[in-house]
Every structure is written in C-alpha cells, then in structure tokens.
Amino acid sequence: MSHGTRATLRSSASATDLGVRFGGEVTLTIGPAEIGAGLIIERADLGARRPLDLPHCSPGPGCTVAGEGEVAVCFVEHLMAALWARGVTDCVVSVDGPEVPLFDGSAMPLLALIDEAGLARSGRPLEPIEVAEPILICEGERALAALPGEPAEFAYSLDYEHPLIGREFARFRPESGAFEAELAPARTFITLEEAEAAREAGLLAAGTERNSVVIYRDHVSEPPAVPHAFARHKLVDLVGDLYLLGRPLTGRVFAFGTGHRHNHELARMLADQPSRAERA
C-alpha cells in the first residue's frame, strides 16, 4: 500500500456479475485516467460521467451511492476501499447498470481486477489529509471519532443483537500493507430478517449466499474467512467511504456501531478542516 505519489492503471479490466439490488447482470470496467483527473465514474448505459468523490456521493440504504436519480450507482464502497488499498488515485470506473456488482461480497475480486489492469505510478506527489484536531460524532450508542496521530489506524467495535454475530472488534494499520490478508476477505453480511425487510422495501431484487454471508436464526451460511470478519468488513466500508476524499488519511479513526451515514459525515468534517498551510 503506497500513497506517496499519484497513480493510475496501465490498462483496462472488466468483470461481470449479478446486480443484487436491481437484478440482472452488470459489467464493471476500470481503466486509466490522466494523472490528476481523480476517480471518475461512468454509467456506460446512459453516457453519463461524474467525479467519484465526496461531493458527488451520498449514503444510501446499506451502501454508498455515486450520483443521484436515474444515473445513480450503488455499492461503490468496496471498490473505493480496493482502490485505496492499491493506491489508485486516478482512473475511470464504468458500469452498464445502476450498481457495482457485489461479487462475493468481499473486496478480493476488486483487488484482482485492479491487479489485472496493473498500476502505473507517477512522480506526482500526493499530500495526505491529516486529522488536524479531534472530531467526535455521537448518535445514541453509536460513535465515530477521529484523532490526530501517526501511524494511521482504523478500528471498529461491533455489538449486534443477533447471537451469531454478537460483539467483535477489529483494528487495521495501513502501514502494515496487510489489507489483502486482513480486511479484503471479510464479506458483506446480512441477517435473514434484514434480507426479508430489504426485499419488501425493493432493495434486494436478487442475490444469494454467494454474494454475502447470510446470518440465519440458528446458523451462518459460511464460516468467516478471517477472525472477527464482521467487524473487519465494517472497516472495509469505513476506509472505502473515507477515500471519497480522494487522498489517504493520516490519523486514527475509531468507530462504534456506525455505518455509511456516519462515515460520510466524518468525511465532510475532515474536508472542512483547515489545511496544513492555513494552520501554520
């Protein structure tokens, strides 16, 4: 994991899989962009392009959404985490439907896609975003805190009422370079009750146990791929959402039961911080 300089992709790579929210297959293609262009998302079926960044994204039901209305694209957070992990700052993300496929619900297929395209690192330096002063977001029993400090660190504390999930804790330091081993294998998870509610709300038109870990009343569809996998997957979402800032983060972030909405609020507060030059 290197974020010292900006990087794009050497070539394009594509993969097709099920779009679980709206049904039907979706093809995801990632490809090069000019250095400095940032991350760009394209609805190939509609000919619409926009920046894949915080001002153009919002928290949606159980995911992060790029754009809005008929050109919206759901489930961009896992891809953002994979791009962050590989240090990709400039590329074009293209989909021919309204969501990024979940694949198996982990970040592993997305890392593989980036590796297939290959990384082209430039000599242009990349300035990280520093947590300048403590930030705390509280909502009932949920909290998200960002503190100044190095090395960068992310931690998540999960406390779920379902007995097969329960309490989990995970922490990750990007300097370890262990995203692929520690976080990427952790899959999306959903309880049976949540899945049924999502179907009734029109938010789950397709999808099987291949796309996520399903938590039934008395068993789990698949053993966890890594220890504390549910909390680790929440970290994937967290780092993916924060990468909408377009730069890596230097600081320590601790989450307690929070989700996409809180991640976006924290990202906005970080974006509004004074720069290092302004603080000098």
Active site residue 228: no
Cα 215 from Cα 229, distance rounded (Å):
13
* Cα Rg of the chain (Å, integer): 18
CA distance 12 to 119: 11
- DSSP-based three-state secondary structure for 216: coil
Measured CA to CA, the distance from residue 63 to residue 58 in angstroms comes to: 9
List the beta bridge partners of residue 189.
Answer: 213
CB contact set of 161 (below 8 Å; sequence gap of 6+):
none
Phi, psi of 196 (to 5 degrees): -65, -40
Which runs of consecutive H residues, i.e. helices, occur in the chain? 77-86, 108-117, 179-182, 192-200, 229-242, 260-271, 276-279
> What CA dihedral angle connects 262, 268, 272 and 274, to 10 degrees?
70
Helix (H, G, I), strand (E, B) or coil at 200: helix
Q: Please identify which of the residues 233, 260, 262, 264 carries the catalytic annotation.
A: 260
Q: What's the distance, Cα to Cα, between the start and end of the chain in Å?
A: 29
CB 116 within 8 A of CB 30: no
Cα angle 267, 273, 276 (rounded to 5 degrees) comes to: 125
Query: Which residues are 29's β-sheet partners?
Result: 14, 94
Calculate the CA 154 to chain-centre distance. 13
Catalytically active residues are: 260
